[in-house]
Chain A
Amino acid sequence: DAGVTQSPTHLIKTRGQQVTLRCSPKSGHDTVSWYQQALGQGPQFIFQYYEEEERQRGNFPDRFSGHQFPNYSSELNVNALLLGDSALYLCASSPDRTWGINSPLHFGNGTRLTVT
């Protein structure tokens, strides 16, 4: 049973460019959320997708956008990259949007983005 998979594992981009990160949820999970983890800090919630719609959003600018596909996989897009966007981007999945009693979050291994 595959867990949460993310691609690519590492990425180097230049300021002003755009990037797309991908996530496949754990089998049986239909809700995907994305997090940004800067060096030395805890993960920060970006947004959550359920039924192909953004359901919740953290304090991130519109440069951060996402998409969820019918097979529950998801993409995170970041436009006009800034140096401060350099971070580990984590994807998590759960079997229901409310992170219920029997459904803890399961995380992928992340994509480490470096913006130069």
Chain B
Amino acid sequence: GIQVEQSPPDLILQEGANSTLRCNFSDSVNNLQWFHQNPWGQLINLFYIPSGTKQNGRLSATTVATERYSLLYISSSQTTDSGVYFCAVKTSYDKVIFGPGTSLSVIP
């Protein structure tokens, strides 16, 4: 089946720093979504981005489907950005596969 990798697995940032999170997938996907899971376990939808680039405030994402990767950019990080970031992909067989996540800690 399809494999989803995320890097880095862990990241510690000083408040105000920028970061790039990467999601690689091993096969063609129909759709891709980025989530932020806060310390209470809630999964927040950040971007629905099967291809192209989107921006929402300090966050932006780019997916290059032909090269099978997606990037999540966080600029001017804040302590509230801490948590785990997941990418999830949907294959042509309608199954949603999550990556292992990137754990982000933003320190004051």
- By a beta-carbon cutoff of 8 Å, the part of chain A in contact with chain B is 33, 35, 37, 41-45, 48, 55-56, 58, 88, 90, 97-101, 104-107, 109-110, 112
| Given A99-B31, A105-B96, 13 new contacts (CB under 8 A) | A35-B96, A35-B98, A42-B88, A42-B101, A45-B96, A98-B30, A98-B94, A99-B96, A100-B31, A101-B31, A106-B45, A107-B42, A107-B45
CB < 8 Å neighbour of B94 from A37, A41, A55, A112:
A55
Q: Does B25 contact A (CB under 8 A)?
A: no
Q: Which B residues lie within 8 Å of A99 (CB)?
A: 30-31, 90, 94, 96
Bound-complex Cα distance A97 to B100 (A) = 24
CB < 8 Å neighbour of A97 from B40, B86, B94:
B94
* Central interface residue in B30, B35, B88, B97, by most chain A CB within 10 Å: B88
Q: Which A residues lie within 8 Å of B30 (CB)?
A: 98-99
Interface extent on B, as a size class? 20 to 34
Bound-complex Cα distance A85 to B98 (A) = 19
Interface Cβ pair total, 8 Å cutoff: 59
Contact of B45 with A105 in the complex, beta carbons under 8 Å:
yes
Bound-complex Cα distance A11 to B41 (A) = 15
Interface members, chain B 58-108 (any A CB < 8 Å):
86, 88, 90, 93-101
Q: Which A residues lie within 8 Å of B48 (CB)?
A: 104
- By a beta-carbon cutoff of 8 Å, the part of chain B in contact with chain A is 30-31, 33, 35, 40-43, 45, 48, 50, 86, 88, 90, 93-101
Enumerate the 7 nearest inter-chain pairs by beta-carbon distance, A residue then B residue, closest first.
Answer: A42-B98, A104-B48, A107-B43, A56-B94, A43-B98, A99-B90, A109-B42
B104 to chain A minimum Cβ distance, whole angstroms, is: 15
Residue of A nearest to B47 (CB): A104
Q: Which A residues lie within 8 Å of B50 (CB)?
A: 101
Residue of A nearest to B87 (CB): A42
Bound-complex Cα distance A105 to B48 (A) = 9
Q: Which A residues lie within 8 Å of B94 (CB)?
A: 48, 55-56, 97-99
Q: Which A residues lie within 8 Å of B97 (CB)?
A: 45
